[in-house]
Amino acid sequence: MSRFESPTTVPEALERAAHRFPERGIAVFDGRARHHERRTWPEVLDAARKAAGCWAAAGLGPGDRLVIAQSTSWEWLDGWLGAVWLGALPVAAAPGAGLGPAEAQVRKVEGVMERLEGRFALVSDVFRRSAQSLGALSVVERAITPDQLFGLAPDEVSPPRPQADDHAFLQLTSGSTGIPRAVQITHRGILHNARAIDQRIGEPQGGPTSEWADGIVSWLPLHHDMGLVGCVFVTMVAGIDLWLLQPTTFLARPQHWLRELGKRGRTYTHAPNFGYQLCVERLDPGDLDGLDLSSWSAAITGAEMIRPETVAAFVDKFGPLGFRPQCIRPSYGLAEATLGVTCDRAGEGLRTLPLPSELAEQAVDADLSEVASVGPPMADTEVRIVGTDGRTLADGRVGEVAVRGPGVFTGYWNDSAATAESLVSGELRTGDLGFLRDGELYLTGRTKDLLIVRGNNLMPHEIEWLAEKVTGGGGALRSGAFSVSHGTRGEEAVVVVETQERDDEKVELQRRDIRLEVSKGLGLVLADVVFVRRGRIPKTSSGKVQRRELRRMYLDGELA
Amino acid sequence: MDSTDAKKQALQIIADVAEKSASELQNEQNLLADLGIDSPKALKLLMDLEDGLNLEISDEDAARMETVGDILRFVGSAA
């Protein structure tokens, strides 16, 4: 088979898209979704080659790591694709947005630069100045702005062609030390996953997406695997258009997403549950006068727990504008599998089973009563449910979700201990809990103490360290963070803190300081801060906080 | 619009986003920690301020806004 038929590397896939779909491409919108700059795949290819030359002129070489912390833009795409073209390993981080200094983002980029020994950080001028004022030297010294990079006269480069099993990029995911871990993704992983997603999404429609869709409209950030692999690479292999909104535009004005979906022909989209929830909370059909959503053919939902209440509310609200309930396509994936593991194949909308009552305790959710099918595994991907002894469990029994397939990562960058925990003889242990029924996966919770708030993964000790900084704990005074969720709101973070302070006013000051530290450090609003007296937080004999038990005590009102 | 009107209007916009009444707001309140204005709400707030007061807020200006007072000072000087 020629490389134009079944590309296994990013450069091949880009060349194939330019050759086969010369009219298709990507449009990137400005912050107000008023204007967009569209490039066809041949133009994307030219720009990537030129960017590779600019990177080489800047001193980047094959195998070098570089961090990209930029908002959605052509600079992001050119910088990323150019680096991959050159054989370097890009790793994308959130650029920070909103109010206040981007301290949390700067610290994260600083940690990643140090851990990966990054050669460059492609950042905006504002970001570089924030890094400077925060004394983040590893960022400042290696920062390069898009103007500097693309202002260089590009070197003539002809990098060696990557092999399918070479690493193409690194994907950040939350790690146990507060510094994100970098998931190593291969060229084969990306291209296989993109094709498998394209194929699965097309199944109920009777053919590949290019036969029934003109494009994807997405607001997902490009540092998110669902934005990068699920949107950029899926459109590249499928030969359809990509309409890219700024994530910030969507968060401020979600109507732009729906408007573009209604306007750009036959469209589909990927989003986490909270994206659909935001539309339900913020928009009324009245805000969307004249909009017709009947050409929206698939609404993939994934990256966090799928909430039946959200789906029902979305269908209720936007059904009158032409949105069809069967468009909802639940899916499941994670960075360690490149992206997709399963996706709904039936095309009948959300299908649920009642949560077996004996599971209520280990579910993530306080009041989860039904669980959504996230569909069967994608092509060439195997899912089994394993017990704590590693043996395969029978249909309907809950255990850890384990995955095998071409998309499974090769390990975390320079972290063999974490890799050994997640990869057991080539099989990915996801840390997610669920069961299989008739070949379809149902998720019920997690084995890890991970919190997923609005699509962002957090480890509990990231919150606990900040809380204990305020109470002066860490030794005798402990804290425990976990998530709870109610109805459509999704997971929210709660921290329980031990204090010896008896003065109510001083306790209130501590509460405010904890909220302040957590919001500054993690960009997170805590749903609740609960103070308890010293020794009240349950611990194991070795002194480890038992977060699961603490969470049960909180939900049962035992901490009040 | 003079700067007093602009500040009054800005206060109302902040109150709407925070789902509080304008009379509950105080200058020293932290937007995130005290008013729960997380990133989606913050982005809505920025665009509401730009649209409502017909001004532009650069990323650098936004990076300096941590409290209610920071926003009112900015609006006061921009009006």
User: What is the structure's pLDDT at A363?
Assistant: 47
The distance of A524 to chain B (nearest Cα, Å) reads: 7
User: What is the structure's pLDDT at A359?
Assistant: 66
Longest dimension (CA), chain A: 75
Q: Do the beta carbons of residue A292 and residue A321 sit within 8 Å? A: yes
Last residue of a domain, one of A406, A422, A446: A446
The verdict on A432 and A472 lying in the same domain is no
Q: How many CB atoms lie within 10 A of CB A290?
A: 7
The verdict on A158 and A211 lying in the same domain is no
Last residue of a domain, one of A446, A478, A496: A446
- Segments forming the whole domain that contains residue A415: 186-350+368-446
User: What is the structure's pLDDT at A453?
Assistant: 84
> Would the CB atoms of B47 and A252 count as touching at under 8 Å?
yes
Q: Is B65 on the interface with A (CB under 8 A)?
A: yes
Q: What is the DSSP letter of A163?
A: P
- B59 in active site: no
Which chain B residues contact residue A278 at CB under 8 A? 40
The verdict on A128 and A261 lying in the same domain is no
Q: Is A20 on the interface with B (CB under 8 A)?
A: no
CATH number at residue B21: 1.10.1200.10
Which chain B residues contact residue A97 at CB under 8 A? 39, 42-43, 59
Give me Rg for the CA atoms of chain A: 23
Cα A532 to Cα A7: distance, rounded to the nearest angstrom: 58
The token pair at A411 is: 């390990």
Q: Is B55 on the interface with A (CB under 8 A)?
A: no
Q: Is B64 on the interface with A (CB under 8 A)?
A: yes
Q: Is B40 on the interface with A (CB under 8 A)?
A: yes
Pairing of strands A491-499, A528-533: parallel
Which chain B residues contact residue A98 at CB under 8 A? 39, 42-43, 46, 62
The distance of A483 to chain B (nearest Cα, Å) reads: 17
> Would the CB atoms of B66 and A99 count as touching at under 8 Å?
yes
Q: How many contacts (CB atoms, under 8 Å) link A and B?
A: 76
Q: Is residue A70 part of a domain?
A: yes
The distance of A100 to chain B (nearest Cα, Å) reads: 4
Last residue of a domain, one of A387, A420, A446: A446
Of A526, A533, A20, A490, the closest CA to residue A272 belongs to A490
Cα A379 to Cα A203: distance, rounded to the nearest angstrom: 12
Cα A302 to Cα A334: distance, rounded to the nearest angstrom: 9
Among B13, B35, B38, which would you mutate to test the A interface (most chain A Cβ atoms within 10 Å of its Cβ)? B38
Which chain A residues contact residue B68 at CB under 8 A? none
Q: Is residue A20 part of a domain?
A: no
Q: What is the DSSP letter of A425?
A: T
The verdict on A216 and A143 lying in the same domain is no
Query: Considering CB atoms only, which of A99, A253, A512 is closest to B42?
Result: A99
The token pair at A402 is: 């384990």
User: What is the structure's pLDDT at A368?
Assistant: 66
Q: Is residue A180 part of a domain?
A: no
Cα A417 to Cα A520: distance, rounded to the nearest angstrom: 30
B31 → chain A, closest CA residue:
A99
Q: Is residue A8 part of a domain?
A: no
| A453 compared with B8, residue with greater pLDDT | B8
CATH number at residue A289: 3.40.50.12780
Q: Is residue A529 part of a domain?
A: yes
- For residue A230, how far is the Cα from the chain centroid? 10
Which chain B residues contact residue A130 at CB under 8 A? 63
Q: Is residue A456 part of a domain?
A: yes
The verdict on A217 and A339 lying in the same domain is yes
- For residue A191, how far is the Cα from the chain centroid? 18
The verdict on A322 and A255 lying in the same domain is yes
> Would the CB atoms of A100 and B66 count as touching at under 8 Å?
yes
Pairing of strands A215-218, A267-271: parallel
CATH number at residue A90: 3.40.50.980
Query: Considering CB atoms only, which of B33, B47, B59 is closest to A126?
Result: B59
Q: H/E element holding A91?
A: strand A89-92
pLDDT in tens, chain A (560 residues): 444 568 999 999 999 999 999 999 999 999 889 999 999 999 999 999 999 999 999 999 999 999 999 999 999 999 999 999 999 999 999 887 777 777 888 988 999 999 999 999 999 998 999 899 999 999 999 999 999 999 999 999 998 999 999 999 999 987 666 678 999 999 999 999 999 999 999 999 888 888 899 999 999 999 999 999 999 999 999 999 999 999 999 999 999 999 999 999 999 999 999 999 999 998 987 778 899 999 999 999 998 888 898 999 999 999 999 999 999 999 999 999 999 999 999 999 999 998 776 665 554 454 567 889 999 999 999 999 999 888 999 998 889 999 999 999 999 999 999 999 999 999 999 999 899 999 999 998 887 788 888 777 788 888 998 898 888 765 678 899 999 886 667 788 999 999 888 899 999 999 999 998 888 888 788 999 999 998 899 988 777 888 888 998 999 889 87
The verdict on A155 and A266 lying in the same domain is no
The verdict on A193 and A132 lying in the same domain is no
Q: How many CA atoms lie within 13 A of A482 on its CB side?
A: 26
Number of structural domains (chain B) is: 1
B67 → chain A, closest CA residue:
A100
A103 → chain B, closest CA residue:
B63
The pTM score is 0.89
Q: Is residue A388 part of a domain?
A: yes
- Segments forming the whole domain that contains residue B11: 3-78
User: What is the structure's pLDDT at A1?
Assistant: 44
The distance of B4 to chain A (nearest Cα, Å) reads: 23
Which chain B residues contact residue A101 at CB under 8 A? 63-64, 66
Average pLDDT along chain B: 91
The verdict on A266 and A403 lying in the same domain is yes
Q: What is the mean pLDDT of residues B33-40?
A: 85
The phi, psi pair for A345, rounded to 5°, reads: -115, -20
B41 → chain A, closest CA residue:
A252
> Would the CB atoms of A251 and B44 count as touching at under 8 Å?
yes
> Would the CB atoms of A99 and B46 count as touching at under 8 Å?
yes
Which chain A residues contact residue B64 at CB under 8 A? 101
Active-site annotation holder among B2, B16, B34, B38: B38
Among B43, B46, B56, B65, which would you mutate to test the A interface (most chain A Cβ atoms within 10 Å of its Cβ)? B43
CATH number at residue A530: 3.30.300.30
Of A553, A429, A29, the closest CA to residue A249 belongs to A29
Which chain A residues contact residue B72 at CB under 8 A? none
Judged by CB atoms within 8 Å, which residues 475-534 of A form the interface with B? 512, 515-516, 518-520, 523-525
Number of structural domains (chain A) is: 3
The verdict on A302 and A258 lying in the same domain is yes
Q: Is A454 on the interface with B (CB under 8 A)?
A: yes
Pairing of strands A215-218, A241-244: parallel
Among A32, A99, A132, A133, which would you mutate to test the B interface (most chain B Cβ atoms within 10 Å of its Cβ)? A99
The verdict on A295 and A192 lying in the same domain is yes
Of A24, A36, A127, A80, the closest CA to residue A222 belongs to A80
> Would the CB atoms of A102 and B63 count as touching at under 8 Å?
yes
Query: Considering CB atoms only, which of A251, A454, A524 is closest to B43?
Result: A251
> Would the CB atoms of A126 and B60 count as touching at under 8 Å?
yes
The verdict on A309 and A331 lying in the same domain is yes
Query: Considering CB atoms only, which of B34, B37, B63 is closest to A126?
Result: B63
Cα B67 to Cα B61: distance, rounded to the nearest angstrom: 13
